[in-house]
Amino acid sequence: MKELREEFYGKLKDVKSVSDLDRLKAEFLGKKGKITARLRSLKDLPPMERRIWGKVLNDLKKELERVIREKREELLDELPSQDPTLPGTPWTYEVGALHPIKVVGGEILRVLENMGFEIGEGPEVETDENNFTLLNIPEWHPARDMQQSLYLDNGMLLRTHTSPFQIRYMSTHSPPLKAATFGKVFRADEFDATHSPVFHQIEGFAVDRNISLSSLKWVLEQIVKALFGEGSKVKFVPSYFPFTEPSMEVAVWYRGEWLEMLGCGMIHPQVLRNVGIDPDVWSGYAFGIGVERFAMVKYGIEDIRHFYENDKRFLDQFRYDRWI
């Protein structure tokens, strides 16, 4: 026992760190340690000797445990103090990035905000009245078939466009007004390279005296130039939407070709009447932007499914530090 004790204290002098101490503890007090082995061998001794040597070994074990505990506290006290308020080492973690849909949507909203549009939100679960009827789309209207709506058991539906925001906003605000919203819309579409049952729209509209198509064209030109550069142009192509009259599809000149990008028009007089605005006094315009469409053109993306597959290789291409 004397030799075992002297061996332990001799090795304790060489301990310089907590890990060294842990190894010493395992050597003497671990499952296969020298003290542990001797305690297990007591069963081979006669009862009287077992009691004597059992007490000796247990006293030695308690002594070594106490010495190891004190040495551990001593070593920990010698460690340099750490300030938990200091920042972490730079670039030891990966910085996240905004999704390209969020990036493009944010760029468009900033342009609209700078032009005085108030940015608001509307619910994704809507009433049939707000989504269709008050937007001049009654139950019998064939335009409802174009929307491919997703109805819920309670008669509500997942909004098929962001245009219900117009109804909600104009019903609670008096003209003149300018507002826009950004959010998800839902349709029973196939999920393929150019279609998705869930996608994003930005709805913008304004109501004031003497608003004309030229006002609308100027706003859309500012959005297009902000996203695609000063060399881009817009042109109106006659179209049809039940909530605007006249209605237009907007084509954008970008990279040497005309691309169909969004729908717009002058707010239909009946829509204004539905929200209590006199169309003989006030006029307005509205436009709906498919954010995925803008992002696909801006970044040269050919498959809309890339936006929703959460592929890190795809999303890493839109990290902020790659664009500065």
- What pLDDT, in 10s, does the model give residues 117-176? 999 999 999 999 999 999 998 888 877 776 688 889 898 999 999 999 999 999 999 999
Mean pLDDT of 235-247: 93
Segment 300-318 shows an average pLDDT of 88
Which whole number is the average pLDDT over 59-84?
83
User: Cβ contacts of residue 165 below 8 Å, gap of 6+?
Assistant: 120, 121, 122, 179, 181, 183, 203
Mean pLDDT, range 43-52, rounded to an integer: 86
Assign 322 a pLDDT band (cuts: 50, 70, 90).
Answer: very low
Can you read off the two tokens belonging to residue 201? 């729209």
Mean pLDDT is lowest, of 32-41, 91-100, 275-284, for 91-100
Given a contact cutoff of 8 angstroms between Cβ atoms, the answer to whether 196 and 292 are in contact is: yes
The residue among 308, 310, 302, 307 whose CA lies nearest residue 194 is: 302
What does the DSSP assignment read for 110-168?
HHHHHTTPEEE---SEE-HHHHTGGGT--TT-THHHHH--EE-TTS-EE-SSSTHHHHH
Report, as an integer, the average pLDDT of 238-261. Answer: 91
Query: Percent of the chain scored above 90 by pLDDT?
Result: 54
Above 70 in pLDDT, residue 9? yes
pLDDT value at residue 323: 44
Q: Taking all residues of the chain, what is their mean pLDDT, rounded to a whole number?
A: 89
Would the pLDDT of 194 be above 60? yes
Output the pLDDT for position 324. 40
Left if phi > 0, otherwise alpha if psi is -120 to 50, otherwise beta: which for 167? alpha
pLDDT of residue 205: 97
Quote the pTM value: 0.68
The reported pLDDT for the residue numbered 284 is 96
Chain segment 84-127, per-residue pLDDT in tens: 676 766 655 666 778 999 999 999 999 999 999 999 999 999 99
Indicate the helix (H) or strand (E) that contains 262: strand 257-267
Q: What is the spatial distance between Cα 222 and Cα 224, in angstroms, rounded to a whole number?
A: 6
Q: How confident is the model at residue 49 (pLDDT cuts 50, 70, 90)?
A: confident
